[in-house]
Every structure is written in structure tokens, then in C-alpha cells.
């Protein structure tokens, strides 16, 4: 009855590190788990959705949250395949990644031992992958926004802006690509916050708006 | 526009440890973050809800997921107040914890700078606290199940069964108290799995059903 | 005979982190334990006391050291309640913290199972809390000086001055409030040391007076 | 002149974790780096080679050491692709892994910017992959022996024998497959050592032959 | 005025690990700092002294606490020289260690830039080294008791009794050698506690007297 | 047959930290193991040797690699004796270190229980210590180059240039002393890379040649 194999895979996400950060010289001890990341994505997506609803109605929050919770589930088996990795494989790298993740998802979902639930979860993941629906674009935007917020956190800890610049710029481009207005507005403000961290003028008050302690 | 103060609090949950584990002699390096825990609770609650829907219909998954995501949000400020702490304060300990958490939630939600959203999130958190609706009981059950699964994970790592016994038993009692049939069924199977970890018979095959690697 | 419960609480201070640092973006892996902090406070207080004795006589070092060793004992149960936490509760936050710590101390001391010793230790802790005697003000000053020295250590590791400025300034104010001349003199020199860390002039020799390796 | 890109990849191996251990519930903080593992493999292979030379002559130690040092170089880009991962892909998993590693090696070696050196290093890696020469079989044996010794280390720390049994058995089978007599002899003794760790008889002297401290 | 060099050495003890534990397979992440250890020794010595005073009077607690705080100060420079190290050097190992520590102490104390204080601290350290006075024997006993309590903590975490047995036995012998009655009584009770951790009888209640959580 | 004691010492190098970094304020969690360091030294030495061979022939790579693998073996017992330590002992510090390391090596090699192998390994280590042969100077150069590359890695992570300057300069001097032309050329380029990390000009492209991700 209890889907032990599936739960085993879900629990492992607590200890699977987001290894991509290694390439940006984040200490392995400060690298978040996939679970931690997915949690932030879900809360950001929830907030974006509620705000979008206030403007325009018509966001299906149940679908948004399901996608946010399941979007990185495959990493329980694939362990966050290095992005650098895919880069040197060129176009085929992306295809390969997609294929590997699909296989991993099938394997993980089979652990549910509940055919209707497998179909439901697979549908959710496929909606996310196709990046078309408003709901999917909200989750993709939340995924990128969490990355940008995390970069700001790392820079507040003292990690090097120079080392993190490439991932900031790449993520910014992706975010713009999702064409979700609210996220664009947030992005502009995050850029301002990040600039504020690195301006060192004599006499500046220490409290940036985000630096509430 | 972007709710910086709120996001700041959400991001901090990635580094707020579930300090309660310290009392059970888990190494601080193996202690999960509040974010990691909340992620598991959300996925478990989603799975329970979908399965309950197959049996009886009538679970509002959007509400379930919102409660799961927001149920420990106050710990961004309160930092997982030690349970041992409350115990020695007696009955007043529980009241105190509730009051402190309510204050913390108000402070965190104010960071949304969006009155409608504050009300919506507060309603969600209050539904969880009152533990009455089916949806709230599902999330409470998921919270307890994640704890039991985490104990099993720690025991698989080699942490001491003897040291972890009190928290297992206490959590089991709570879980039963939520009177959610599906969770009761899962509990019985988890107890069997845990026993399996600690039986050391000569010639036993190494693979318990959960120990798929 | 052996006060097992009391020793259990004392030993736990080795693994209770000074969680307040989380708010200043110190990696959880670099956060000192309460034991480590209390040790430094005791040695600093000893040094201050001996130096004060050379000037004016009349410092009771036994009382100084006992206060230094016991001043954070309550955190074995309370786990370093977040300072941010108290801030949003306003004036009542301080009262609350005091009450909680008093309860925790009673609980911990009861583990001594030795009524005379309980009274002796409680007297020591109360002298510290009232902050009036010269000896108490020396320990409070040492507590603040350890914090300032620790900030300098973190900044030498590369943690961000901007992020740490608020805690530096707050601690400086407290220190001045204890009206202990020797500590004021030390403070002025520490401020000079800290400024030295962040001036980046071409051709500067690398060795600040503290940076002996 | 200095092959910066190549050195960059070599240095990264110090922080790339041997992630496969995650599946066996080793705390991420106790997981060795690829560099650490490769060092042990090289020293074990050197010892095996010198001992084999004493018996039969004819081992080319330069080739052995080069293979040991370069055998996991690809993981600087691929980050130790999960073995579990390959398992669910079946036969095609192995082929895929080989292809990915070959691509990674090409990319890394190109960083040498020295065509003759690229060819030399590639030849070394290919000799290792084909597993035919005596020298290659020695390095494969050393790779397996390091794994077995590491399991013993983890079990000495308290990690669970039950959890580690599957990887022990799998590695043992591989080792036997390399048909290197000396390694077979070592294996038998390691099995005896491991059994010794887990026999708990009253009155047993604490010092196993390996437990010298 | 402020003794920067001395404080620098004192602060470093927060990050100097008690490396001796490495030989007993404690994960480097669970190894306490010298500061943490010294803090426990001081509190244990204080407790022993107060209890001894109740029986017989005549313990100079100021001297006890000074010795406890300064007894491992040299490790700020020597970094906890491995005990295994000394063993293979035989008798000369002990002499060597003593000489090295004396040199280190001279160097560290010179940082006080206060001749009277240097003499006072040196006298304290020499009293400890000669192990003769009641006060010195109390601190040595506290040093050993902290080690035994720490072993129990590690075994509660799941570290292996077999691996830790040699250090337990060795420390027990030393403790007996200090001929301090109260410590002998404590030792007998600690042995009972340790045995209790490892007896696994069906139906045993989980709470040993020390296992209060 | 299997040299268990020797392998035990080799395996321990995976967990012996290069403690010298503590003095330069590297977090203990980012401090590499002796194994990790020795691996890099071996690969750098291999690369230097192959490149030297292309220019002038006549490098015995087998000897180079053996020296690289064994040059820090003694630290399995001595635990990376603090350099600061030796400094305050003056000239006698160096002699002392040499003597201690020689004793440690004898003890470790005795674990091989194979007299011919002991002699062979001892010859290798002595060749390294005398620093005369081309092969020995290559390994010493590789040892220094790994240190410089590691400093650059730490500075990329955000560790402070000011704090690391003394060790950079000291290592640079040593490297020049080994009079190995190729290493001198590499040094000049590393100095250029390091300067590049710390120049902060507006509009600078983020990608230094080494910062490939």
C-alpha cells in the first residue's frame, strides 16, 4: 500500500546536492539540496500565481504547485547532471539530458505502484517540460528567480561576484525567455538589489532593503 | 513590487536547521534544513491526497499543498524552537509556542506588502493550526510521516536506534491522533520496515524492500 | 552521585550552534558552538580581570570566571533564541527571553541534584544578569569583545563587511554601555584593526599586526 | 604555455564528490573527493605492482601509475554519474556512460594545448578502458580494493553493514573478474577483517590487526 | 594595550580540531574544537571542585579554573599533536611533546606584552603540568572525564564501540592514576552508563538516565 | 600477505586535513585532505615531466610519480605539523621536522612487512628530501604549483586575498629556488591570472581564461 520505493526516491532529494554550483566555486558545504531548492521554487511560484490571479484571474494554482514539486524529481536518480557537461556535447547534450530524465522519471514513478497516479504525475511533468501553458511558464520563472535569489545569498556570504557573473547572466536570459511579465518586473528589482551589494561608497548606510536582520 | 522581505525569509529556510534533531544526537552536518523537510511534507501530502481522492473523492489539493508549503514558515524567524524546551515549561509551553509562532507569521507575511495575499496565507496557516479539516489532517499526517521516514534514513546511516526510539514513539502517537486511515496503513508498514533494519540474522539477504540502490 | 543530567546539558553545548550568525549569512559550517564562544569569553574575561587588577586591585576572579562559564548555560535548552526574533516582539521580547532563560536554568541546575550547588550556580547567573557588579560588567564586556573579534575573524575569511556591519555596530553600542574603561580602550584598537582589513591600497604590506601566521 | 584549462579541471577533482556513496547512505560530509580516491588507487596499484615484480618481473610501473592518475579524470566534467542511474537503463546504460566519458576526456585533454601530450594521455586512458594488459588489470584491481577498504573505514565509523552489503558484494565480484592473483589473496584477507569488525563476542580484545591507533 | 597577538591565538582555538579523534574514525565534521573541549573541562572541574569543597573544604577554585582554561592553550600553535605520533617515538616522544608545548606557550604568552601577566599564566600552566597539587589533579581528572563523556556522546550518535574501546580504556587508566576519589566514583557510574548503551534486550525501556531528551 | 597496517596509514590520508590552511583562515570544511593534495601534485608533476621530456628528454617519470605519491606519506602519522610551529622554533624547527618525519616514515613503511619494498620506498622518499635530482626538483615544483593553484581556487571562492598574500609570496620564493625553468614560466602566468581575479574594472568581461564553467 505505502509506495516505499517512491518515498525512498523523494527522501533522497534531501541529500542530493545541486552539484552545478561546484563549477561556480561554491563550497560543497554551502550547496543546497534539491529538496531545498524545490521548496523555494514552490513558494515563489505560489506567490507569483496569487499575484497574477489578482491581476488577471485564471491561474490554476493546483497545477502550478504540482509542477513545482515534481519538476526536479528525476534528479533523485540523475543527481543533477552537470550543465557544463551538456555544454560540451552541444545540441545533442540537451536531447540527451531530456532522454535521461524521462527514463529516470519512469523509473521513479513506477515506485508509486498505482497506475492512475503514475499517469497523473507524468502529465504534470510533461506540462512543465513543454513550457507552454501559463502555469508551466510561472514555474520555470520561479525556478530562475530562485537561482537569482540564491546568487544574491551567496554574494552576501562573501562568494565572489566575478565567479558568479556567468550564471547570473545566463539565468537572466532564460527568465526573459519565459515571457511572464510579473517575473520581468521582479528581475529588474533583483538587479538593483545585486548592484547595491557591490557598490562600496564611504558613509553608505549598511541596510539595503533586503538586508533586514 | 517584488516582496523582497518575504522572499528573504523564505530563502533563509534553506539554512535554518531542524535543530530538534540535535537532542537525538544527529550530527549537525546531517541535520536537514526546514526547506528540505517542508518539501518532503508537500510531496507526501500530495501523494496521500491523490490516493485518498481515488478512494473517496473530495480532497482539495490546492489547500493541502498551500498548507504543506507554509506550515513551518514561522521558523524562518523562530528557528525551530526546541521541543525539549517546551516540555519543561509544561502546558504553558505549548501556548507560548503558539503565540510566538503567530507573531512570527504576522511579521513574515507583512513582508508580502500585499494585503489580500497576507489574508489568504494567514487563512491557510490557521486552517493548518486548527487541525480539523480533512486537508489539515492530511498535512499533519504527512509531517509525521516525513519524520518517521527520516528516522529510518538516519538509522540506515548508522545512527543509534536506542537514541532515536523516543522520537519514533512520540511521533507515532501523534500520527494516530490525526485519525487519517491511509496514514495508519502506512505507519504499520513503516514499523515493519524499521524492524527489518534491526534484525540481524545470519544469512539474511541484504535487500529490504526499501533498500533499493 | 555523578550529576548525569547536568553533564548531559553541559556536553550538549558543544553541538548547539550560535544560530544568531545565520542571520548574518555565516555558513552553518563556520558557526561556532556555544561552548567555543563561552571558552573565549572566559579567557578574555580572565585577561581583562588580571589587567584591571594590576591597575586598581579588587577584582574577584573566581566570580568572573564562574559567570563567564555559566552565562550561556541556558542555551543548552533554549538553543540560542534568535535575536531577530526578539526584535519583532518589541520590549516584551526581552522580558520573554529573560523568563524563558530563567526557567531553562532552573531545569538545568536541577540536574545537579545538589541543593547547595544549585544555589551557588544560580547566584552566579543572577549576578551576571543584573549587570551591576564590576565582575559582571567585565564578563558582559568580554562577551561583546568576543563577538567583535569573531566578526574580524569572519571578515578575514572573506565574509562580507557589508553584511556584518549591523552586528558590529550594535555590539559596539552595547560594549560602551558596560562602562568598563579597559574594554573601551580595546574597542578603539579593534576598530582600527577592522578598518585595516578593508583598506586596499596599492603596495600595502600584507601583514597587519593581527595577521601573524 | 601553462595548460590552465587542463589544470582547472584537475584541481576541480578535489571538490567533486564520489556521489555514488549517497545511495549507500554515507553522509555527504564523509564522502571522499575523486582526487582522494584516485590517490589511494595509485598508491595501492604501486604497491601491488612492486609486489608482483618481486614474483614475476615484467610490470611497467610508469604505465600503471599514469593509468591510476588519469582513470577518473573524466569525472571533472561528468561528476561521477550515478551507478544506480545506469542500472535502470540496462545494457545501454554502460554504452552511454562510455560515450559520455570519452567525450568528456576529449574536452579535458584539449585543455593541455599540446597535441603530443593529448595523444599520450589518451593512449593511457584507452589502455585502462580495455582492461586487457596486466598493468590495466592491476589498476582496475586497485580501484576495487580501494572501494573495499573504504567500506571497511565507513563501517569502522559506524555506518551500517546492512546498508553497505550490496556494494561490497558487487565490488568483490568485479575484483574477481580482473583475474589478478595477488588481489585475490588480498580480498580473502579483507573479508576476514570485515567479518572481525562485526563479530561481537564478550571479552574480545579490542585490537583487530587493522585497528592500530 | 590590547594584546592582539594573544587574542589571535586564543580565537584560533575555536577552529583547531582535536585531531586525535581522527585515529578513532570520528568524522572530521563531528570533531570538536579545542575551545569546546576546554570549556567542558572547565565546567566539569568547577563542579568537581564545588563538590569536593562540600566534603573537605580547601579547594582553590580560582586556580582550578585558570588551569582548566589555559591547559591546552599551546595547541593554538601545535595543533593537537597526534598521540599515535608520540607512541612510536617511545619515551622520548613524551619529552619531545613537553618541550614543544613549552616553547609554544612561551611564544603565545609573549603576545600578552605584559610581563607580570606572562609570569602569572606560566605559573598556572606549570602547576598543571606537574600534576601534583589537588587543584591540578582535579583539572587532569576533568580532562579525562570530558573524554569519557565525549566517547559516550559519540557512541550515542552511532560511532562504533569497538573502534572507541582502546581510547576508553586508556583514559580510564589515566583517570585512576590521578587519585581523586570523587572522579573515581563518577568513573564507575560512567562505565555503567556506557554498558547500558550497548545492551540490547527486548522490551528494554528506551530512556537511560542520561538519555533525557 | 596484504600489508594491512600500511594500507591503513594510506587510507587515513583521505581524512587528514592539510591543517596549515587554518592559519590562513580557510574554513575547516574547505580544507583539502593530504590525499587530495598529493593527487594534484602527482598529475602536475606528470604534466611537467612530459613537457620537459618534449624539450630535453631524460626525465624518469616512474621516479617522479613515486616521489609525488609518497612525498607526504609521513603526514598519516604527523598530521601536517603546523608551519607556524616551526617558525617560532627557528632553525631547529626544520631539523626537528625532518627528524620526526623520518621516524614516522620508518614506522609507516614497516607496515609493508616486505623488506625489499621498504628499501625501495625509502630510497624514493630520500631522493625527494635531498631535492637534488631533476626528478626531485620537478616534484617540489609541482608541490608549490599546487599550492599556488589552490590559493587561486580559494580566492575564487571569496577567501580574502589579503589573508592569503603571505603564503602566496612564501611559496613563490620556494618555487623559484627549485630552478626548474618550466615551473618559472608557469609561475609568471599564474601571477597574471591571480592579478586578473582582483582587478575590478567597470565593464570587464567576466570570463578570465581560467574561469571556464
What is the predicted pLDDT for the residue at A82?
62
- Cβ-defined contact of B104 to C88 (cutoff 8 Å): yes
| Residue C79 to residue D186: CA distance in whole angstroms | 49
Q: What angle do CA C21, C27, C31 make, to 5 degrees?
A: 50
Q: Is B121 helix (H, G, I), strand (E, B) or coil?
A: helix
Q: What dihedral angle (degrees, nearest 10) is formed by the CA atoms of C96, C97, C98, C101? A: 120
| Residue A146 to residue A175: CA distance in whole angstroms | 11
Percent of chain D with pLDDT over 90: 76
Which whole number is the average pLDDT over A106-120?
97
Least CA distance to A169: which residue of chain F? Answer: F206
A95 compared with E143, residue with greater pLDDT? E143
Q: Is C17 helix (H, G, I), strand (E, B) or coil?
A: strand
What is the predicted pLDDT for the residue at E84?
61
Q: Is B33 helix (H, G, I), strand (E, B) or coil?
A: strand
Tell me the chain C residues in contact with residue E10 when contact means C-beta distances shorter than 8 Å.
Answer: 40, 43-44
pLDDT tens digits, F84-97: 666 767 777 777 77
Which whole number is the average pLDDT over D94-116?
89
A86 compared with D184, residue with greater pLDDT? D184
Q: Is A129 helix (H, G, I), strand (E, B) or coil?
A: helix
| Residue A38 to residue F151: CA distance in whole angstroms | 34
What is the predicted pLDDT for the residue at E94?
75
pLDDT tens digits, D14-54: 999 998 999 999 999 999 999 999 999 999 999 999 999 99
Chain E interface test: which of F14, F15, F21, F105 (most E C-beta within 10 Å): F15
- Cβ-defined contact of C150 to E190 (cutoff 8 Å): no
- Cβ-defined contact of A149 to B193 (cutoff 8 Å): no
The answer, yes or no, to whether residue D205 has pLDDT greater than 70, is no
pLDDT tens digits, E160-182: 999 999 999 999 999 999 999 99
Q: What is the DSSP letter of A32?
A: P
Least CA distance to B165: which residue of chain E? Answer: E206
- Provide the 10 A C-beta neighbour count for residue D166: 17
Q: Is B11 helix (H, G, I), strand (E, B) or coil?
A: helix
Which whole number is the average pLDDT over D157-165?
95
pLDDT tens digits, F7-62: 999 999 999 999 899 999 999 999 999 999 999 999 999 999 999 999 887 999 99
What is the predicted pLDDT for the residue at E83?
63
The answer, yes or no, to whether residue A205 has pLDDT greater than 50, is no
Percent of chain A with pLDDT over 70: 89
| Residue E104 to residue E108: CA distance in whole angstroms | 6
Q: Quote the mean pLDDT of chain E.
A: 89
- Cβ-defined contact of E47 to C209 (cutoff 8 Å): no
What is the predicted pLDDT for the residue at B92?
74
- Report the candidate in C5, C8, C11 with the shortest Cα–Cα distance to residue C33: C11
The answer, yes or no, to whether residue B205 has pLDDT greater than 60, is no
Subunits in contact with chain A (3 or more CB pairs closer than 8 Å): B, C, D, F
- Cβ-defined contact of B6 to A40 (cutoff 8 Å): no
- Cβ-defined contact of F162 to C206 (cutoff 8 Å): yes
Identify which of A23, A79, A89 has the shortest CB distance to residue D82: A79
The answer, yes or no, to whether residue D82 has pLDDT greater than 80, is no
Tell me the chain B residues in contact with residue C104 when contact means C-beta distances shorter than 8 Å.
Answer: 85, 88
List phi, psi (to 5°) of F133: -65, 155
What's the pLDDT band for B208 if we cut at 50, 70, 90?
A: very low
What's the pLDDT band for E108 if we cut at 50, 70, 90?
A: very high
Chain E interface test: which of B162, B166, B172 (most E C-beta within 10 Å): B162
* Residue E35: HSE in the Cβ half-sphere, 13 Å Cα cutoff: 25
What is the predicted pLDDT for the residue at A209?
33
Q: What is the DSSP letter of B90?
A: T
Mean pLDDT by 10 residues, chain C (213 residues): 96 94 94 97 98 90 98 89 66 77 93 97 97 97 98 96 96 96 96 88 40 34
Q: Tell me the nearest-neighbour CA distance from D90 into chain F, angstroms.
A: 31
- Cβ-defined contact of D158 to E162 (cutoff 8 Å): no
Distance of CA B154 to the CA centre of its chain: 16
Identify which of B39, B66, B189 has the shortest CB distance to residue A35: B39
Angle of helix E181-198 versus helix E161-177 axis, rounded to 10: 170
| Residue E148 to residue C108: CA distance in whole angstroms | 21
For residues E121-145, one letter each, b for 16 or more C-beta atoms within 10 angstroms of the residue's C-beta and e for the rest, the string is beebbebbbeeebebbbbbbbbbbb
pLDDT tens digits, A165-196: 999 999 999 999 999 999 999 999 999 999 99
What is the predicted pLDDT for the residue at B86?
67
Angle of helix D134-157 versus helix F4-12 axis, rounded to 10: 70
Least CA distance to B155: which residue of chain D? Answer: D160
- Cβ-defined contact of A211 to C23 (cutoff 8 Å): no
Which whole number is the average pLDDT over A62-85?
87
Q: Quote the mean pLDDT of chain B.
A: 89
Tell me the chain B residues in contact with residue E29 when contact means C-beta distances shorter than 8 Å.
Answer: 27-29
What is the predicted pLDDT for the residue at C202?
42
For residues D86-99, one letter each, b for 16 or more C-beta atoms within 10 angstroms of the residue's C-beta and e for the rest, the string is beebeeebeebbee
What is the predicted pLDDT for the residue at B56?
80
Could you give the ipTM of this predicted complex?
0.93
- Cβ-defined contact of D79 to A107 (cutoff 8 Å): no
State whether the Cα torsion C78-C80-C86-C92 is positive or negative.
positive
Tell me the chain F residues in contact with residue D108 when contact means C-beta distances shorter than 8 Å.
Answer: none
What is the predicted pLDDT for the residue at D161?
95
What's the pLDDT band for E101 if we cut at 50, 70, 90?
A: confident
Task: Determine the longest span between alpha carbons in chain D, in angstroms.
Answer: 64
What is the predicted pLDDT for the residue at A206?
40
F205 compared with A135, residue with greater pLDDT? A135
Percent of chain B with pLDDT over 70: 89
- Using a cut of 0.90, tell me whether the model's pTM lies above it: yes
SS3 content of chain C, % helix, strand, coil (to 5): 75, 0, 25
What is the predicted pLDDT for the residue at A85?
63
Q: Tell me the nearest-neighbour CA distance from A81 into chain F, angstroms.
A: 14
Identify which of F30, F153, F197 has the shortest CB distance to residue A162: F197
List phi, psi (to 5°) of E81: -50, 130
What is the predicted pLDDT for the residue at A56?
80
Identify which of B23, B27, B166 has the shortest CB distance to residue E157: B27
pLDDT tens digits, F156-184: 999 999 999 999 999 999 999 999 999 99
Percent of chain E with pLDDT over 70: 89
- The 3 state secondary structure assigned to chain F is CCCHHHHHHHHHCCCCECHHHHHHCCCHHHCCEHHHHHHHHHHHHHHHHHHHHHHHCCCCHHHHHHHHHHCCCCHHHHCCCCHHHHHHHCHHHHHHHHHHHHHHHHHHHHCCCCHHHHHHHHHHHHHHHHCCCHHHHHHHHHHHHHHHHHHHHHHHHCCCHHHHHHHHHHHHHHHHHCCCHHHHHHHHHHHHHHHHHHCCCCCCCCCCCCCCC
pLDDT tens digits, F112-148: 999 999 999 999 999 999 999 999 999 999 999 999 9
Subunits in contact with chain C (3 or more CB pairs closer than 8 Å): A, B, E, F
What is the predicted pLDDT for the residue at B148?
98
Q: What angle do CA D24, D30, D31 make, to 5 degrees?
A: 60
Percent of chain F with pLDDT over 70: 89
Integer CA distances (angstroms), F207 to D10, F133, F189, in order: 19, 39, 16
- Provide the 10 A C-beta neighbour count for residue F121: 23
Least CA distance to D117: which residue of chain F? Answer: F50
pLDDT tens digits, B57-112: 799 999 999 999 999 999 998 887 666 666 667 777 777 778 888 889 999 999 99
Interface of C with A (CB under 8 A): 23-29, 84, 157-160, 162-163, 165-167, 169
| Residue B96 to residue B86: CA distance in whole angstroms | 8
Which whole number is the average pLDDT over B4-17?
97
Burial grade of F45 (CB within 10 A; 0-12, 13-18, 19 or more): buried
User: Residues for chain F: how many in total?
Assistant: 213
Amino acid at each position: 500500500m505505502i509506495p516505499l520505493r517512491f518515498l525512498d526516491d523523494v527522501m533522497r532529494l534531501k541529500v542530493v546536492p545541486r552539484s552545478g554550483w561546484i563549477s561556480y566555486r561554491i563550497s560543497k558545504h554551502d550547496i543546497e539540496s534539491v529538496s531545498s531548492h524545490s521548496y523555494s521554487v514552490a513558494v515563489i511560484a505560489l506567490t507569483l500565481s496569487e499575484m497574477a490571479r489578482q491581476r488577471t484571474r485564471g491561474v490554476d494554482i493546483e497545477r502550478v504547485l504540482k509542477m513545482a514539486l515534481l519538476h526536479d524529481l528525476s534528479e533523485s536518480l540523475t543527481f543533477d547532471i552537470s550543465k557544463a557537461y551538456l555544454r560540451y556535447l552541444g545540441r545533442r547534450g540537451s536531447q540527451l539530458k531530456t532522454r535521461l530524465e524521462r527514463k529516470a522519471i519512469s523509473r521513479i514513478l513506477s515506485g508509486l505502484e498505482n497506475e492512475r497516479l503514475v499517469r497523473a504525475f507524468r502529465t504534470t511533468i510533461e506540462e512543465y517540460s513543454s513550457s507552454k501553458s501559463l502555469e508551466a511558464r510561472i514555474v520555470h520563472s520561479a525556478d530562475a528567480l530562485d537561482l537569482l535569489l540564491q546568487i544574491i545569498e551567496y554574494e552576501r556570504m562573501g562568494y565572489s561576484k566575478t565567479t558568479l557573473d556567468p550564471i547570473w547572466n545566463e539565468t537572466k536570459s532564460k527568465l526573459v525567455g519565459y515571457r511572464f511579465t510579473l517575473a520581468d518586473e521582479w528581475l529588474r528589482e533583483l538587479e538593483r538589489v545585486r548592484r547595491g551589494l557591490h557598490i562600496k561608497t564611504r558613509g553608505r548606510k549598511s541596510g539595503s532593503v533586503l538586508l533586514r536582520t
